[in-house]
Amino acid sequence: MTDTVRFRCNNCGRRFETEVLSEAEQREARLRDRPTFAVQCPECKRTDIRRGWE
C-alpha cells in the first residue's frame, strides 16, 4: 500500500504531497529487480527535496 508523504523542495521551496511506496513494497521491488524512482519536485523537476513542510 502506498503512503502519502509531504515534501518540500530545497531548490525552489515548493511544498507538495505525493504517494510513495511503503518500505515493504520497496524491498519487494528491489528483490524482483523492478525500478523504484526518486521523488522529484513537480515544479523544477529536481530531486533535492526533504520530507515535511517545516
Sign of the four-CA dihedral 35, 23, 32, 18: negative
Q: What is the pLDDT of residues 16-43, one digit of tens each?
A: 999 999 889 999 999 999 988 889 999 9
Interatomic CA distance for residues 30 and 7, integer angstroms: 23
Confidence of residue 53 (pLDDT cuts 50, 70, 90): confident
Contact 49, 41 (CB under 8 A): yes
Nine-digit cell at 41? 519536485
Query: Residue 40's pLDDT is what?
Result: 94
Query: Residue 33's pLDDT is what?
Result: 94
1, pLDDT greater than 90: no
Contact 11, 37 (CB under 8 A): no
6, pLDDT greater than 90: yes
